[in-house]
Amino acid sequence: MLQIYLPIAEISVNLLVMLGLGAAVGFLSGMFGVGGGFLLTPLLMFSGIAAPIAVASGANQIVATSVSGALAQWRRNNIDFRMGNVLIAGGVAGALVGVFLLKELREAGQAGLIISLTYVALLGGIGALMLGESVRAVRRARAGKPTGARRPGQHNWVHGLPLKMRFPRSRLYISTLPPLAIGAIVGLLTAFLGVGGGFVMVPAMIYLLRMPTNIVIGTSTFQIIFITALVTILHASFNHSLDVVLALILAAGGVMGGQFGVRAGQKLRGEQLRLLLALLVLAVATRLLLDLVLRPADLYNIAPLLAGA
């Protein structure tokens, strides 16, 4: 019985359970190479922590894990700093909008609902796409056909947009509008869902911007540090929803779990990994959807009115 009182969430949680939760998500993120925020926030909500507190504290925890990640990527020269700065500029705008939207929704009593709905849509969509893609990849691998490799240097509509900029590290000369937009969407998601947003940013940068995959991962990790840090400060300032004790426990668990996850991930094959992740993402989405659709045990709920910030 290692109960620990969370000063802002104002509940007592089991220290080992929370460390384990952080470690489990860290393990998965190490294994799959994703941030894991999109699993952590719903899991915190399932364990009885109010949605806005789960979002803010989740964002704070991601600051810690992305610093570790970005340092490792920086050592391998995998960060395109110029692209990172463009993404951050977009992200700041998105984060500001997201934090104020969440504040309004919380006052209207709809924050939990909108957070859940956004999660269901996002996780359901991405999970389904990943499932389809990985099932096809597994079949192809069984049939002995080579996996379709991306041909570099292909051009798409993105390359016709104005405000072009040179990104030497990525060997790209493209418009700044798509990265700004990607950054803004990710910033909005961070503020709203307490996620890093890598699961949206990475595919978008690979398929839309045609950046090299290794640089995509390094650069997105770099961007995530700044946006999650900003979101942490904004939520603390305007929503008073940050529980730093919770964030620290999760970060401690996450750092430990991540190390084992990386090793476990190296033993599994890529298609199998993606299939597993897709099933996991779909399971979380289903649980959230069921909570929305099934008749709740309590029709009534009470919430304190937020003292004017």
Partner 1 sequence: MKTLVGFIAILLALAWGPAHAEKPAPRSDEVVSDISTREIAIKSNFAGIEILIFGSVDFSARAAPDKASYDVIVVIRAPGQELVARRKQRVAGIWVNGPGETFPAVPGFYAVLSTRPLRAITSEETLKSLGIGLSNLDFGRRVHDDPGEETFRSAVIDLKERQRLFQEQDDGVTFVGRSLFRASVDLPVNVPIGRYTAHVYLFRDGVLVSKNQSTIAVNKVGFERLVYLLAFRYPFIYGLIAVVVAVAAGLIGWVAFRRE
Interface ranges with partner 1 (CB under 8 A): 3-5, 7-8, 10-12, 60-61, 63-68, 71-72, 109-110, 113, 117, 225, 229, 232-238, 240, 242, 244-245, 247-248, 251-252, 255, 258-259, 292-296, 298-305, 307, 309
DSSP string, 253-285: HHHHHHHHHHHHHHHS-HHHHHHHHHHHHHHHH
CB 53 within 8 A of CB 303: no
Euclidean distance between CA atoms 82 and 70, whole angstroms = 15
Helix, coil or strand: residue 307:
coil
Euclidean distance between CA atoms 129 and 265, whole angstroms = 21
Contact residues for 56 (Cβ-Cβ < 8 A; gap 6+): 194, 231, 232, 235, 236, 239, 241, 242, 243
Phi, psi of 287 (to 5 degrees): -60, -45
Tokens of 285: 């989405």
- Kindly tell me which of 176 and 232 has the beta carbon lying closer to partner 1: 232
- Kindly tell me which of 176 and 241 has the beta carbon lying closer to partner 1: 241
- Kindly tell me which of 279 and 290 has the beta carbon lying closer to partner 1: 290
Cβ 68 to partner 1 shortest distance, Å:
4
Cβ 283 to partner 1 shortest distance, Å:
20
- Kindly tell me which of 5 and 207 has the beta carbon lying closer to partner 1: 5
Cβ 143 to partner 1 shortest distance, Å:
36
CB 190 within 8 A of CB 228: yes
Euclidean distance between CA atoms 202 and 197, whole angstroms = 8
Cβ 182 to partner 1 shortest distance, Å:
23
Euclidean distance between CA atoms 98 and 114, whole angstroms = 12
Cβ 117 to partner 1 shortest distance, Å:
8
- Kindly tell me which of 163 and 293 has the beta carbon lying closer to partner 1: 293
- Kindly tell me which of 81 and 260 has the beta carbon lying closer to partner 1: 260
Cβ 308 to partner 1 shortest distance, Å:
11
